[in-house]
Structure 1
């Protein structure tokens, strides 16, 4: 049988039952569309994950200050860090184990129906804390240098600490009692994206730190612009403590490349599995319909064999039919997949990311699926004996 005749017979077999062929092609269309969409969405989501890692991980530097006499870092040394190019904000913190469990009460009244006191962490900080830890003031304001200079007894509560103490409004200047001394609550800090433990803490100005044993700076947090973290990690110690920079412990910003690539790879692998499952479902559909077609065309196969068609001619005809069905589904599925990716990205306001090679290879993948799905039905058709088929 000539190749041209084989192609003609295959097309005639496809067009003999257009509805059945369309339904068979639909399985491949769905499989290829799902594969293209899942891989494209995975790549797009991976790109968003990379952006999240860049925003959070690569824009922060932590400097730990060990105990030393005299102190290695002064409270006003933070101003030197903020002058460095690439630094957006910085804050100095004073923490200690003794101040990690301090009794804090909302009032002096003894109410047996509710807990008036809690054990919370008290820490001293400079005024740039909200910006540095990527938090926001849900109520009131954060203390500034004026509060420090005047030595005012003010505090800022973390949002969780405020709920625990029952402080819901600060417009009437409520007070909390730390020990026997009242402190005016001037603000509530929402849960920060960095240093989440601050949500359950009580923050006081550096001028009040000595009352709780928080005399010296123990940590400095620095927020940088994107891409400047590594440089600031080298420059910050010298800016904080000139001549003693080798004594400071710098938490080098973790390079997010390996972690983000791993996460993006996991997402792509998950979507790939889902796409392949859909593709397998489409292949099973093609195999099932092709097998039904073989059974319905038993008389035709017997007649062809009686007229001289060899087994290979019958097998080649059904293989080519299933391959054409898969190829058609691959072309349509690739087009629908690209449109779907662009539509999803537009709705989510993402930047669509799609490997052009995937869209170009999708028709070939559909043809391969059709070819593999048609192997068994084609072999079964080729094994029919003319007498049995005609009978």
Structure 2
């Protein structure tokens, strides 16, 4: 039996039962198609996730400083670094984090007017650095700090807890029995959301609460400049040689984040695709085995006419391999179409690996050969007399 004879016999066997052959091919189509779809959607979704990488996280650098190491004036130099949009110093201690704050000095047993809130000394650039917005009134400026005005700005949640919603009439809050005028209410924090429950005071009032030096520096950078600023900021804040004592919290590299997301998503969807491919292979094996059992008379007749065991095995392997090849081609085309359609609906940019589309037909043929191996060997082991009987 030459290659041409083998090809003609395998093709005749497939076309003799076109519906069954089509249903058998459908298993490979679904397996290969699912594999292409899952990997294509994984790559596209991973690219989309990275495209929407949280710019707020990627442009935020935090420097934690030991006590009495960095002064308030040292932070001003950070604005001169290329890539820094704004920088704000904060001062907070364990003692200042548990201050009794009331909205009035009248003791009313019928209502709760006092709260335990954190008092935080912050520079005047805080709203810009934390991407917040003034809900009422205004934020204090350098003049308030220079004059040591007894003013505060409340976080939105702190104001709500104290029952203050409007500052047009200059309400006051009492901290440790001392009155402070409320200049404004700051809300919409996109960074440092814990400050929403804090009472913010100018740096000059910090010593009243034991806040004499900076404990933390918030830096807002341009996209892509965070790593550079993370290296330069400690030297700018403490050029005397103690930069190693400053703890810098910088965002991860967007490239590393992209690779991590891509790897995780691809790994998950690859497993799902392989499971679908195995299910398709099992389907091919089952249908091919049933086909072998139905064609026992044909096998016996061919063996009686002189066909060897290898000829029978080759014929069934060629049929199953050809079915897998067709299924791989159709499945790859179907998978690519689905990926493009989903990307169009979601307005994403489809990401497809050309190698996957080229390898899919070969993978389908390989799956078909592996799935048809056992049925082909079983057909080849049949004796002519038993098959004809």
Instruction: Give the TM-score category using the shorter length.
Output: 0.7 to 0.9
Alpha-carbon distance change, 338 to 104 in structure 1, aligned in 2, over 3 angstroms: farther
Match of 1:271 in 2: 269
Is contact 1:103-1:120 (8 Å) kept? yes
Is contact 2:114-2:162 (8 Å) kept? no
Is contact 1:311-1:383 (8 Å) kept? yes
Is contact 2:151-2:183 (8 Å) kept? no
Match of 2:221 in 1: 224
Alpha-carbon distance change, 362 to 80 in structure 1, aligned in 2, over 3 angstroms: same
Once the 2 structures are TM-superposed, how far is the Cα of residue 388 of structure 1 from its aligned partner? 2.2
Alpha-carbon distance change, 202 to 358 in structure 1, aligned in 2, over 3 angstroms: farther
What is the rounded CA distance, in whole Å, between the counterparts of 1:126 and 1:327 in structure 2? 69
- The yes-or-no answer on 1:309 pairing with 2:296 is no
Match of 1:74 in 2: 72
What is the rounded CA distance, in whole Å, between the counterparts of 2:137 and 2:342 in structure 1? 40
Match of 1:19 in 2: 19
Alpha-carbon distance change, 22 to 118 in structure 1, aligned in 2, over 3 angstroms: farther
Is contact 1:73-1:241 (8 Å) kept? no
- The yes-or-no answer on 1:190 pairing with 2:181 is no
Alpha-carbon distance change, 203 to 26 in structure 1, aligned in 2, over 3 angstroms: farther
- The 3-state SS of whatever aligns with 2:96 is helix
Is contact 2:32-2:328 (8 Å) kept? yes
What is the rounded CA distance, in whole Å, between the counterparts of 1:279 and 1:171 in structure 2? 66
Deviations 1:30-76 (A, max 9, x none): 111211122222223333444566735543322233223xx63224x
Alpha-carbon distance change, 247 to 294 in structure 1, aligned in 2, over 3 angstroms: closer
Alpha-carbon distance change, 47 to 199 in structure 1, aligned in 2, over 3 angstroms: farther
Gapped regions of structure 2 (runs ≥ 5): none
What is the rounded CA distance, in whole Å, between the counterparts of 2:24 and 2:137 in structure 1? 66
Is contact 1:175-1:183 (8 Å) kept? yes
- The yes-or-no answer on 1:235 pairing with 2:232 is yes
Is contact 1:125-1:206 (8 Å) kept? yes
Higher mean C-alpha deviation, range 121-130 or range 252-261? 252-261
Q: Given the two structures, how large is their TM-score scaled by the length of structure 1?
A: 0.85
Higher mean C-alpha deviation, range 244-253 or range 265-274? 244-253
Is contact 1:35-1:279 (8 Å) kept? yes
- The yes-or-no answer on 1:65 pairing with 2:61 is no
Is contact 2:40-2:353 (8 Å) kept? yes
- The yes-or-no answer on 1:179 pairing with 2:173 is no
- The 3-state SS of whatever aligns with 2:316 is helix
CA-based RMSD of the aligned residues comes to 3.0
Is contact 1:287-1:374 (8 Å) kept? yes
- The 3-state SS of whatever aligns with 1:140 is strand
User: Please, which of 82, 87, 92 is the counterpart of residue 89 of structure 2?
Assistant: 92
- The 3-state SS of whatever aligns with 1:154 is strand
Is contact 1:142-1:156 (8 Å) kept? no
- The yes-or-no answer on 1:139 pairing with 2:135 is yes
Deviations 1:232-251 (A, max 9, x none): 23332444455466376151
- The yes-or-no answer on 1:126 pairing with 2:112 is no
What is the rounded CA distance, in whole Å, between the counterparts of 2:376 and 2:138 in structure 1? 77
Deviations 1:102-142 (A, max 9, x none): 22345656465x75443332212123334433x44383366
What is the rounded CA distance, in whole Å, between the counterparts of 1:142 and 1:268 in structure 2? 49
Once the 2 structures are TM-superposed, how far is the Cα of residue 144 of structure 1 from its aligned partner? 4.2
Deviations 1:246-289 (A, max 9, x none): 37615163543556534432222111111111111111111111
Higher mean C-alpha deviation, range 369-378 or range 292-301? 292-301
Matches within 5 A, 1:19-58: 19-51=19-51, 55=55, 58=58
What is the rounded CA distance, in whole Å, between the counterparts of 2:163 and 2:346 in structure 1? 38
Q: Given the two structures, how large is their TM-score scaled by the length of structure 2?
A: 0.86
Alpha-carbon distance change, 303 to 136 in structure 1, aligned in 2, over 3 angstroms: farther
- The 3-state SS of whatever aligns with 1:37 is helix
Match of 2:358 in 1: 360
What is the rounded CA distance, in whole Å, between the counterparts of 1:129 and 1:109 in structure 2? 33
Once the 2 structures are TM-superposed, how far is the Cα of residue 324 of structure 1 from its aligned partner? 1.1
